[in-house]
A = this chain, B = another copy of it.
């Protein structure tokens, strides 16, 4: 596998076009210093309509017209959440933004703003920090959000801390605890793609491109969150730890038992392809693979599902064990525990 940045990440001949200026691939962040790096990073942000005061001051100010603000935070650590030989900094930025904004969407809100804490060794190329920021900015912009502030510090290895804010636009937040017996469990988005991509990369493959890309840049169905809230979703979560684990969070918080239908679960062609190549049942990735950030929600049995959502199971009974079954039986597999193993 190659450590070179993919084509397009470093403008060819950028150094030649600016003869007085070093290319940022050659400049380390310690060459720039803290304030130099901050200035370069801020230059790459773009304000959006809710940014009342953007980066560069003690704090940012964001509009919160709803009178409430949704807030969530995630920490990404090199070697644990990304590898520099598997993902470009731009990909890491997109992923960090996506996983946070998916949490906002899973409340039924629209993401509005990101704050980014960035820790890195001083010898890291400034280029890396800049492309990370581009990834964050672009993923945010795709849904109308903006990077409004941050912090940079020296650290042994790369750490990216992202906080996302969101606007409920008058909606009642959809928690994990409102599922009721009889509700339909529905899905919007991909399952198992990122995990199949990781499996392929671990085995030294760089294809199928679709799943490798899915690992690098998840595509959460952001708009599906507010749509589900509008359609009366009783509970919602984004699938970050694996379908069984995350549906289990709904089951525990709502004190219900949930039964998923194996037949209703999507085993998409590229996921099936990796499974066949590696001799692994792809259903395992669909049920336990995280990081695609699909949304799962429960809906009253009479509510028509909003577009893009498909039924995948039912809330069968009140129960305190938070159990999730597949076709009536427990599945022998678990989600992801950051401190296990």
Using a CB–CB cutoff of 8 Å, the interface residues on chain A facing chain B are: 29-30, 32-35, 37, 52-53, 56-77, 79-81, 103-104, 106-107, 109, 113, 115-119, 122, 148-157, 159, 161, 163-166, 168, 173, 175-177, 236-238, 253, 337-340
How many subunits of this chain does the assembly comprise? 2
Is there an interface contact between A58 and B237, defined as CB atoms closer than 8 Å? Answer: yes
Q: Which residues of chain B are within 8 angstroms of A117 by Cβ–Cβ distance?
A: 73-75, 117, 161
B33 touches A107 (CB 8 A): no
User: Are A238 and B73 touching (Cβ within 8 A)?
Assistant: no
Residues of B within 8 A of A32 (CB): 339
Among the listed B77, B104, B151, B157, which residue makes an inter-chain contact with A73, where contact means beta carbons less than 8 Å apart?
Answer: B151
- CB of B173 within 8 A of CB of A53, answer yes
Contact of A153 among B72, B75, B168 (CB under 8 A): B75
Interface-central residue, A153, A164, A238, by most chain B CB under 10 Å: A153
Per the bound structure, the CA–CA distance linking A38 and B246 in Å amounts to 15
- The 4 A-B residue pairs whose C-beta atoms are closest, nearest first, are A161-B161, A59-B72, A75-B117, A64-B64
The answer to whether B34 touches A103, judged by C-beta atoms less than 8 angstroms apart, is: no
Cβ–Cβ contact A154 & B116, under 8 A = no
Cβ 8 A contact of A176, one of B58, B71, B116, B176? B58
